[in-house]
Chain A
Amino acid sequence: MDRIITAVIAIIGVPLVLLGYIYAGEWVIERLPARVQVWIRPYFWALPAIGFATVFMVYPLLRTVVLSFRNGADTQWIGWDNYVYFFTFPDTLTSLRNSLLWLVFYTLFAVGLGLIIAILLDRVRYEQIAKIAIFLPVPISAVAASIIWKFMFDYQPPGTVQTGTLNALLGSFGAQPVAWLVNSTTNNAALIFVGIWSITGFCMVIISASLKSISTEVLEAARIDGANEFEIIRLIVTPLLWPTITVVGTTMIINALKTFDIVFVLTSGAYDTDVIATQMFRQLANAHYGRAAAVGVVLFVAIVPLLVVNIRRFQQQEEQR
């Protein structure tokens, strides 16, 4: 009960506190000399946002870098030991390999399928309804999606009734059932596919919006010149969509590197399915803070190039404003 009261206080209280902050702050600022006003007001307005970003992102980021060079209890400098551990221990190397698999295949298929489905649906009358079907998994949490796919991948020993959809399908073709999530040749692919299934609708919606903005006159002109549909897609549509594809692609790369939920729920990283994020969480749960921090830094370093790309793109957009 008192938790509900806390929540209600937060819902009503926080906007009220902010209103109070704005009115009280402005009341004070308006009584200051004009020159001070101009100087101090913007910081006053941006302070809550900058404060939150500093406490929850900038400071922890720097602190994690420091922690990665310290021992588990944070009492001693141990140089590169945590990194040496990360790059030599077989389990962590497996997680690194799997994250690379996620990076390549998740990104490629999510963007590729999003593009293909957007182009295909552009050509039929039932586009809207089909789009809803493809997009449906996007709002579903990774936890629920994992349970959905636990049933799809369900495996019973050969000879018994297969209740998993995929193995029943295999059985109807006379094939042997596959232990999708245990077998180390299929489990990473299976997990990555769940990720792709969850996000393709997102890619499709963005690519489709940009597809609709291509003028039909250009396409008509190409058709009159005798180009077939495949040439039109390859030589006209895809190049025009390229900026959108790169934006979606970078988002997917970041998603792939951060992947945690699906792996954690479906296999908990067992049977060689660990990725960087689950590896890090395990180190953290075992209070190996130094090692966990080093894993985090590796993840961050992998994302830095994308961070630079994002900032560049932002600066270009700013120049066009």
Chain B
Amino acid sequence: MSSARVETRRETARVSTAADALGSWGRQLQRLPLHLVIIIFVAIWIVPTIGLIVNSFRSVGDMNQAGWWTTLFPPHSFTFASYQQVLDTENVVPSIFNSILITVPATVIQLAIATMGAYAFAWMKFPGKDIFFIVIVGLMVVPIQMTLIPVLKIFQLTGLAGTFIAVWLAHSGYGLPFEVFLLRNYLGGLPREIFESAEVDGAGHAVRFLRIAVPMTVPAIASLTIFVFLGVWNDLLVSLTYLGSSPNRPFTVVITQLVTSLGGGWQFLTAAAVLQMSLPLAVFIFLQRYFVRGITSGSVKG
């Protein structure tokens, strides 16, 4: 009797594990559409970029004869011809240097000024502070287009049009509202006691800013640096407007001008696009954590 019960118990145990196995298979099967949908999304988002990269290593003749996917099967015929052609094209190499010479100073200038301004808004009281800050919050969404003509005229009057200084200043002006906003929120979240005890110890604002505020804000400044840097590196409109056809124009402007002027025979620009996006992609891949943190903390940016 008791052994029979044990037997049935064993039986049910075996059955239940079998049902479990079947269930988990069933569940996996049920989840198949989920996986399929995700795979389709991932493919749509990743295939175009892969196509560009593959094409950039093919000859223009091959690009015109068959799609990029054909090269994935032997015989592969990869070549650096497009890269050679891009680098030999007039203005391209200087424009890559221009991009660096525009991006680095523009980033440094605006972050330095923004951090200082944010400190005032976070830790000082002054009449009109709230109104100033609300204006800054409002300016975050003002389209750059609203400012192009008068700023261009200022640059023409001062002889700055077509110079690096013009785009450094313009980028800084456009970037500041968002940066002041973000850094002020971060700085304002630092513990009040630290600043108060420093004040009691006789530290002036210069010391409190440089020795306490700035070092403690490094995480926020780091994320912001990545974004500002890439924003300026990828910018087209600001440089197109203030540099136009000047020899100081950056890589994005030169690529755009080649695309629109070439009509046919633009295929070798695949290599230019790969060169242009390699820096942002490298930054994203190696600094992913800062990147995502920056986006989620500053999701208001327009």
Contacts and interface: CB of A to CB of B under 8 A. Distances in A.
B126 interface: yes
A150 to B, nearest CB: 8
B29 interface: no
A26 B204 contact: yes
B151 A60 contact: yes
B150 interface: yes
A3 B243 CA distance: 15
B137 A311 contact: yes
Contacts of B176: 49, 52-53
Contacts of A97: none
Contacts of A151: 48, 51-52, 55, 68, 270
A200 B117 CA distance: 33
A133 B138 contact: no
Given A41-B205, A310-B140, A14 B296 contact: no
B138 A260 contact: no
Interface residues of B, number: 117
A218 interface: no
Interface in A112-151: 113, 117, 120-121, 123-124, 130, 132-144, 146-151
A201 B170 contact: no
A10 B171 CA distance: 14
Given A56-B174, A197-B44, A148 B51 contact: yes
B139 to A, nearest CB: 5
A11 B113 contact: no
A321 B169 CA distance: 33
A79 interface: no
A130 B68 contact: no
B3 interface: no
B45 interface: yes
Contact of B101 (A7, A61, A206, A254): A7
Interface stretch (A80-88, A178-186, A298-306): A298-306
A58 B299 contact: no
B259 A147 contact: yes
Q: Which of B136, B146, B280 has the most CB of A within 10 A?
A: B146
Given A45-B120, A64-B147, A133 B45 contact: yes
A296 B302 contact: no
B200 interface: no
Given A45-B117, A161-B65, A247-B300, A57 B205 contact: no
Contacts of A56: 147, 151, 169-170, 172-174
Interface stretch (B9-17, B18-26, B32-40, B190-198): B32-40
A41 B124 contact: yes
A300 B146 CA distance: 7
B73 interface: no
Interface string A206-232: 100100000000000000000000000
Contact of B277 (A26, A141, A265): A141
A48 B299 contact: no
Contact of A139 (B114, B145, B280): B280
Given A14-B109, A136-B49, A58 B139 contact: yes
Given A7-B105, A277-B145, A149 B48 contact: yes
A43 B125 CA distance: 10
B273 A147 contact: yes
B105 to A, nearest CB: 4
A94 to B, nearest CB: 18
Contacts, number: 328
Contacts of B151: 56, 60
Given A11-B104, A57-B174, A292 B149 contact: yes
Nearest to B189: A321
Given A60-B149, A260-B236, A296-B146, A134 B42 contact: yes
B149 A15 contact: no
B204 A144 contact: no
Interface string A1-40: 0011011001100110011001100100010000000010
Interface in B62-106: 63-69, 97-98, 100-101, 104-105
B137 A314 contact: yes
Q: Which of B67, B104, B112 has the most CB of A within 10 A?
A: B67
Interface of A: 3-4, 6-7, 10-11, 14-15, 18-19, 22-23, 26, 30, 39, 41-43, 45-46, 48-50, 52-53, 55-61, 63-64, 67, 113, 117, 120-121, 123-124, 130, 132-144, 146-152, 161-165, 168, 197, 200-202, 205-206, 209, 244, 247-248, 250-251, 254-255, 257-258, 260-261, 264-265, 268, 276-277, 280-281, 284, 289, 292-293, 295-297, 299-300, 303, 306-307, 310-311, 314-315, 321
Given A120-B38, A310-B137, 5 more contacts: A14-B112, A42-B129, A143-B255, A147-B255, A292-B149
What are the 9 A-B residue pairs with the smallest beta carbon separation, nearest first?
Answer: A56-B173, A49-B117, A141-B234, A45-B120, A42-B126, A60-B147, A10-B105, A254-B302, A139-B280
